[in-house]
Chain A
């Protein structure tokens, strides 16, 4: 069994592994080796990474319920913050590089296109999670309130995978897998948090 303490030693490695792609892509963007349509490529890479990290935090939450995997919860905050980092970069790329701060167009785009609306709402949902991420905030808010706020990760995850699902033209396999994972994890949670206690009563 891995103890939380021994796992901590791995934290810097995990940190570097997760930050590495963004460094690589920035370098490639400047370098011109991000393909023929670099802005689109960068935006896709960042968004996909953000979504994968969001799902990773959900997996961690569920897996860390098992005693043997308890140590995982220690990196959840870091991964969650990285998810927000990638999602923000994704959104910024859309604003700054894809549409060059054409706010008039961007606002219309967000309202008019359901897939962009979903992506945007998902981004907004992540903000309170980031604000309440320091340990101090748990104390300040109380664990129950804090936890309720953090359930926002489920709609955020669902909306961002729908955002991906609606964007792709033909092969919806990858986004479908994400949606499937999220729903399974959500049902698992509901089962243990809502149904099991009721049955016990």
Chain B
């Protein structure tokens, strides 16, 4: 039903809103890629903005600076993002909790530093402009459908991934690493594979973003990218996967609404972060689930008057 609603969207919405929904779809993929690690492996990453951005950089560098084919560029971008995720993973999987967060943050910021300073390749602060979308997806509606056609199966893939035996193992690692180790699971290997897969999905989001935005600059890889994507995952509800769509929609709509009135979006993002951390760390979908579960347990035990 949701899919049906999404399918008729361009017919009923003006093109600006269609492009906002397209953006939501793209960033949902990034948020879900973070949720795979944060929600199912218990590893909160602040380096995914960098992985996402490197995919965009490589795709634009290939298609615009080198004049290559855009699809090959995007494929190379996704490959580069996956490889970068492999490097991040190799360094970070031995840590957990705050250390993992710090490491991915530091690694992501090194990528940002390189993108900012390596002017010869990245264009420095000016960034790189792409070659534009291929003609058949040039207008808003057809690009929207193209993104939808890619995002739908990707979402299904991620859903399958976190509900597969592999995903269950990740959840086991999240809940108790030592238990999984003594059961004979190769914990580092599972985390490594999860990180690399997550990087692949973030890379795909980066590739779609190239088509969407046609421009990449250090602000694409900077910390606020990782932060807002993580905020989307958290707002939706960490560990719900599909909550990322709700989170991405909430953050992007908020950003568009705020930007219409003021240039103080970073402040609003910061305040949103602080408020969510204090009042609703389980996110919208997580909160809804909690309430549902509470109601269900209450209706099954009518004499229970707590609550």
The judgment on whether A and B are partners is: no
Question: Which residues of chain A have a CB within 8 Å of any CB of chain B?
Answer: none
